[in-house]
């Protein structure tokens, strides 16, 4: 059977610890959490980051109670 090396466990740990905060940030910005998947595509992650940083945030349009 195949066993994970320590480097592979580290990568799994990093992905899981980054995935949850990225989903929360994107959801609070008012975008779909599916945007998180773009951060795993090499060129798309840079484009998504720029769109997220300088694009329209739908969450800012919602009235506060």
Q: Which of 12, 17, 41, 13 is nearest to 49 (CA)?
A: 41
What's this model's pTM, rounded to 2 decimal places? Answer: 0.62
Confidence of residue 38 (pLDDT cuts 50, 70, 90): confident
44, part of any domain = yes
Whether the pLDDT of residue 64 is over 80: the answer is: no
- What pLDDT is attached to residue 65? 65
- Total domains in the chain come to 1
- Supply the range of the domain harboring residue 38: 7-57
52, part of any domain = yes
Confidence of residue 57 (pLDDT cuts 50, 70, 90): confident
Question: 59 Cβ partners below 8 Å, 6+ apart?
Answer: 28, 29, 30
Whether the pLDDT of residue 3 is over 80: the answer is: yes
27, part of any domain = yes
46, part of any domain = yes
Q: Assess contact for 19 and 38: CB atoms under 8 A.
A: no
């Amino acid at each position: 059977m195949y066993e994970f090396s320590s480097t592979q466990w580290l990568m799994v740990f990093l992905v899981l610890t980054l995935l949850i905060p990225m989903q929360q940030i994107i959801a609070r910005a008012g975008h779909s959490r599916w945007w998180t998947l773009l951060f795993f595509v090499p060129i798309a992650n840079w484009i998504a980051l720029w769109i997220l940083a300088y694009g329209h945030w739908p969450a800012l349009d919602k009235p506060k109670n």
